[in-house]
């Protein structure tokens, strides 16, 4: 499956359309969706536009594992997109072959001129593991990109209601009600919430839509939201 165009010129042109320049302040990071660009690219692109005023050319991306089960964190081996090779930040993690939730963020970062990226795939992780990864990534002067999609395959109105509940929990960093979030990127979300709490950062919703807003089928939709913090 092609999550984004594999032709360099086509991908460059699409990213020009998707990345909206709304950078009015320096931010620490983003929470973005990871579906195919035709579905969630505009929602993600609005968020990535906030990075134009960043103070670093390093980025750490964390997304959930969809294809293999493991404990802890692994680094994406893939180091090239149609826009070219990426420089992967030094690390001491095991590697993993592929994960679209992370890979889908890399062209956005390349388009914005990021020089070094640490693409992390998150498996099952406990509280101690969360504390450890938060400590590790905070040692790096970087922008932090977390990725998750929201509810999956609910009827349109039910999905909107459920996603609004999840968005409220995320915005309030309400870890006590974390289990009420309906999302595929639960582990990256929890890491993000603990990271924000530790630094006093607050997530702000940029945009929410679901696949029913993009295509005609509203019987089973997937929710997408983007945040800055």
Can you give the pLDDT at residue 26?
74
Single pTM value for the model: 0.95
CA distance 43 to 223: 11
Q: Which residue numbers in the chain have pLDDT < 50?
A: none
Can you give the pLDDT at residue 23?
66
**What are the structural domains, with CATH classification, of the chain?**
8-13+28-228 (3.40.830.10)
Residue 220 phi/psi, 5-degree rounding, is -140, 105
CA distance 224 to 40: 6
Closest of 152, 172, 174, 173 to residue 163, by C-alpha: 152
Residue 80 phi/psi, 5-degree rounding, is -145, 140
Q: Which is it for strands 221-228 and 152-154: parallel, antiparallel or unpaired?
A: antiparallel
Closest of 141, 147, 113 to residue 30, by C-alpha: 147
CA distance 33 to 223: 9
Provide DSSP, 28-75: SEEEE--S-HHHHHHHHHHHHGGGGG-S-SEEEEEEE-SS---BSEEE
């Amino acid at each position: 499956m092609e999550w984004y165009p594999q032709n360099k010129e086509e991908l460059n042109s699409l990213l020009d359309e998707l990345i909206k320049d709304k950078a009015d302040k320096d931010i620490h990071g983003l929470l973005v969706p990871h579906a195919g660009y035709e579905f969630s690219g505009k929602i993600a692109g609005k968020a990535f536009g906030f990075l134009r005023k960043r103070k670093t050319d390093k980025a750490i991306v964390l997304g959930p594992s969809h294809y293999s089960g493991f404990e802890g964190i692994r680094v994406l081996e893939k180091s090239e997109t149609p826009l070219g090779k990426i420089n992967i930040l030094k690390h001491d993690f095991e590697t993993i072959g592929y994960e679209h939730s992370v890979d889908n963020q890399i062209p956005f970062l390349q388009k914005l001129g990021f020089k070094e990226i640490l693409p992390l795939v998150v498996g099952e992780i406990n509280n101690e593991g969360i504390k450890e990864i938060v400590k590790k990534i905070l040692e790096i002067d970087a922008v932090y990109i977390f990725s998750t999609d929201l509810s999956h395959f609910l009827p349109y109105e039910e999905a909107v209601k459920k996603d609004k509940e999840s968005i409220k929990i995320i915005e309030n960093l309400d870890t006590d009600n974390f289990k009420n979030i309906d999302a595929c990127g639960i582990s990256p979300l929890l890491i993000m919430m603990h990271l924000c709490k530790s630094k006093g950062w607050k997530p702000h919703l940029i945009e929410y839509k679901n696949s029913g807003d993009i295509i005609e089928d509203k019987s089973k939709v997937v929710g997408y939201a983007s945040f800055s913090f």
